[in-house]
Amino acid sequence: MNVIKDHTNYTIPCNECQAGQMHRTFLTYFTWLGDELITVPDFPAWVCDVCGKREFDVHALNQLSLLLSPTAGKPAAKTHRASTRTKAKHTRPSKSE
């Protein structure tokens, strides 16, 4: 779904019924976080005016996913990069007989 900055009076064709238009509205979003049910009121969504298909706004879902992430608010772990330098191999001179 395309990201649109101004959602006022904007519609997109419904991919489900091919006859309706998807309008932006706000619904309650439900999801499970472990064994807890999380509800988010007034969550942005797109709803078809003919078949009623609902799609939650992708941008809002991505933001919510970041907030509900187990690592949210924790500092990023430091990663150690492998050395990119190659060590020069020292070879012994061969004995001449």
Among the residues of the chain, which ranges form H helices?
A: 58-68
Q: What is the pLDDT of residue 1?
A: 47
Q: What is the pLDDT of residue 19?
A: 94
DSSP 73: T
* Token pair 């439900």: residue: 30
Class at the top of the CATH hierarchy for domain 11-68: alpha beta
**In this structure, what token pair is assigned to residue 7?**
């959602």
**In this structure, what token pair is assigned to residue 97?**
């007989």
Task: Extract the residue ranges of the chain whose pLDDT is less than 50.
Answer: 1-2
Cβ neighbour number for residue 1 with a 10 Å cutoff: 12
Judge if pTM exceeds 0.95. Answer: no
Q: Of the candidates 46, 59, 61, which has an alpha carbon nearest to the alpha carbon of residue 15?
A: 46
Q: What is the pLDDT of residue 70?
A: 78
